[in-house]
Amino acid sequence: MDETTQAAAVDRQEVLRRAEIDASCRLPAMAFFASSVVWLLVGSALALLASWKLHSPQFLADWSWLTFGRVRPAHLTVVAYGWASMAGIGALLWLEARLCRVTLPLKGLLLGGCALWNVAVAGGTMDILAGRGTSVEWLEIPPFWAGLLVVVFLLITVVSMMMFAARRVSHIYVSQWYLFGAVLWFPFLYVMANWLIHMNVVRGVTQAATNWWFAHNVLGLWLTPIGLAVVYYLLPKILGVPIYSYHLSLLGFWTLALFYNWAGTHHLIGGPLPAWLVTVGVVGSVMMLIPVATVALNHHMTTRGHFARLRESPTLRFTVFGAMSYTAVSVQGSLTALRSVNEVTHFTHYTVAHAHLGVYAFYSMVMWAVMYYAIPRLAGREWPSARLIAVHFWCAAVGMAIYWVGLTWAGVRQGMLMNDADVAFLDVVRYTVPYLWSRSLAGVLMTVGHLVFAWQVLQVLLPGRRRVRGPALFGRQRPVEVAP
């Protein structure tokens, strides 16, 4: 055998091995992905309802379970624990299996865990709508359902550690650092926060500090690591180039681990907490500029010279939009934590826009990227139409842009007017109303994108529909349709 045939044989083995790994992830990962898409639609409906109620308070006002103060936390719970977390777990299981080069263990238990997670999110959401929510932000799910989530989560952690222990590669790729961070950080955060607050282990404003230690870390140490792990995986995979710098990866990960942890108390600037506690939060937030700049540089230098590929690869387009949004939202976050900025923007719609820039423009876009990449490989069926993927992308991107611009501007003005005691409070309220309408418009556009996405997932999952051979790419190559 000469060298070329030998290399070809190794390549073929690699491909077969990867197909075997993907096949092992098929049911559990698809179960989490499919569930997340359902929650995305439920979350969108709740979002539209909440948004509409903010400018038209008489809308569906006579049902207590649909009052704004319940729909709003129900929306958060559904998108954070239903959509974002389940999409993230699906991506995490598949990525870990691929990166450790082992097949997914405990598949049956994972399927059961997926069902239990769905039950917990559904139960928690219904409890919130029924008036049994806790009104502790990001921890609204009552403790009983939260306990179920913990059980499933520990299973995810165990599965991750099993795959890691059995891994067939000695080098640990950067995506795995982030995934490990996520599966170890989240259970610790979630158990501690639920226990300390709901069991009243700590008291008074320390509960508020615990609340924001948790709530900020859900983004920073749960969703962000998964999002970054996916970007670190997909960019080189699609472009066929290695990550620009190993040392930047290393620096980016450990500075995130070190600084993000301490950032949460910036949500309490001006509040009744010891000044040092808030200052620590401000410092942690500003220090986040280091990991963010590092990761942005690393991603940019990896993609440099390949930006033309955005025209053809749907996955890359979603990935790059998400990665750039990560930089934007993080820099915005560091600036917002400065006392002088926070004095204006705190308590306003600006913060809501910021949160969506993070969870939507960064995290959700990256989750769509990984699903567009992984689902055809898991399900063994290609996407039906590149055009529909483009519709989804532009609905999400334009919707998000309208959302962010409208609410950010409204929030800054709202904060400035509120800090001027000569302006009557109700005039501040009246000022924001047109921008609240712009948010509802943006929400409709985003929801259309979600429906298009869900329809495509359904097409891939439903058996017996028309078969498509060949990947769905933008531009020149079109998927070839053949009769079943």
Partner 1 sequence: MSRAPLLYVGILFTVIASSLGLITLPEKQLVGLEPVVDDNGVARPVEPGGAVAEGRELYRALGCLYCHSQQVRPQGFGADLERGWGERRTVARDHIFDRPPLLGTMRTGPDLANIGARQPSESWHYLHLYEPTLTSPGSTMPPFRFLFQEREQVLGRPADALELPARGEGAARIIVPRPEAKALVAYLKSLDHGYAVPEVP
Q: Is 131 left (phi over 0), alpha (psi -120 to 50) or beta?
A: left
Binding part of the chain for partner 1, among 14-22, 109-117, 422-430, 474-482 by CB under 8 A, reads 422-430
Shortest distance (Å) from residue 481 CB to partner 1: 46
φ, ψ at 469 (rounded to 5°): -105, 140
Q: Is 294 in the site for partner 1 (CB under 8 A)?
A: no
Q: Is 205 in the site for partner 1 (CB under 8 A)?
A: yes
Shortest distance (Å) from residue 104 CB to partner 1: 19
Which residues from 342-361 bind partner 1, rule CB under 8 A?
343, 346-349, 351
Q: Is 265 in the site for partner 1 (CB under 8 A)?
A: yes
Task: Out of 210, 313, 336, 408, name the contact with partner 1 by CB under 8 A.
Answer: 210
Q: Give how many residues touch partner 1 by CB under 8 A.
A: 86
One-letter amino acid for residue 101 of the chain: R
Q: Is 283 in the site for partner 1 (CB under 8 A)?
A: no
Shortest distance (Å) from residue 279 CB to partner 1: 12
Task: Out of 44, 85, 211, 364, name the contact with partner 1 by CB under 8 A.
Answer: 211
Distance CA 12, CA 17 (A): 8
Distance CA 260, CA 239 (A): 30
Nearer to partner 1, 111 or 162 (CB): 162
Which residues from 147-186 bind partner 1, rule CB under 8 A?
164, 170-172, 177, 180-181, 184-185
| Structure tokens belonging to residue 212 | 């924001």
Nearer to partner 1, 334 or 342 (CB): 342
**Burial of residue 66, with CB atoms counted within 10 A of its CB: 0-12 exposed, 13-18 middle, 19 or more buried:** middle
Q: Is 272 in the site for partner 1 (CB under 8 A)?
A: yes
Q: Is 262 in the site for partner 1 (CB under 8 A)?
A: yes
Q: Is 2 in the site for partner 1 (CB under 8 A)?
A: no
| Structure tokens belonging to residue 42 | 């439920």
- Residues 61, 471: contact at Cβ < 8 Å? no
Residue 3: enclosing H or E segment and its boundaries?
helix 3-55
Q: What is the DSSP letter of 78?
A: I
Interface characters, 18-57, with partner 1 (x: CB under 8 A): -----------------------------------xxx-x
Nearer to partner 1, 70 or 392 (CB): 70
Task: Out of 98, 266, 267, 354, name the contact with partner 1 by CB under 8 A.
Answer: 267
Q: Is 137 in the site for partner 1 (CB under 8 A)?
A: yes
| Structure tokens belonging to residue 423 | 């302006």
Task: Out of 426, 463, 464, 476, name the contact with partner 1 by CB under 8 A.
Answer: 426
Nearer to partner 1, 38 or 286 (CB): 286
Distance CA 229, CA 376 (A): 20
Interface characters, 52-81, with partner 1 (x: CB under 8 A): -xxx-xx--xxxx--xxxx-xx--------
Shortest distance (Å) from residue 451 CB to partner 1: 27
Binding part of the chain for partner 1, among 134-142, 293-301, 305-313, 460-468 by CB under 8 A, reads 134-142
- Residues 114, 28: contact at Cβ < 8 Å? yes
Cα distances from 112 to residues 62, 143, 154, 390, 450, in angstroms, run 38, 20, 13, 34, 26
Shortest distance (Å) from residue 136 CB to partner 1: 5
CA atoms within 13 A on the CB side of 433: 10
Distance CA 185, CA 224 (A): 12
Q: What is the DSSP letter of 171?
A: S
**Burial of residue 210, with CB atoms counted within 10 A of its CB: 0-12 exposed, 13-18 middle, 19 or more buried:** buried
Which residues from 74-133 bind partner 1, rule CB under 8 A?
131-133
Q: Is 254 in the site for partner 1 (CB under 8 A)?
A: yes
Shortest distance (Å) from residue 116 CB to partner 1: 25
Shortest distance (Å) from residue 275 CB to partner 1: 10
Neighbouring-strand partners of residue 459: none
Contacts of 376 (CB under 8 A, 6+ apart): 382, 383, 460, 471
Q: Is 316 in the site for partner 1 (CB under 8 A)?
A: no
Binding part of the chain for partner 1, among 145-153, 201-209, 315-323, 364-372 by CB under 8 A, reads 201-209
**Burial of residue 205, with CB atoms counted within 10 A of its CB: 0-12 exposed, 13-18 middle, 19 or more buried:** middle
Neighbours of 114 (CB within 10 A): 26
Binding part of the chain for partner 1, among 141-149, 290-298, 299-307, 419-427 by CB under 8 A, reads 419-427
Distance CA 247, CA 89 (A): 27
Q: Is 433 in the site for partner 1 (CB under 8 A)?
A: yes
Nearer to partner 1, 308 or 426 (CB): 426
Strands 467-469 and 480-482: antiparallel
| Structure tokens belonging to residue 248 | 């930047």
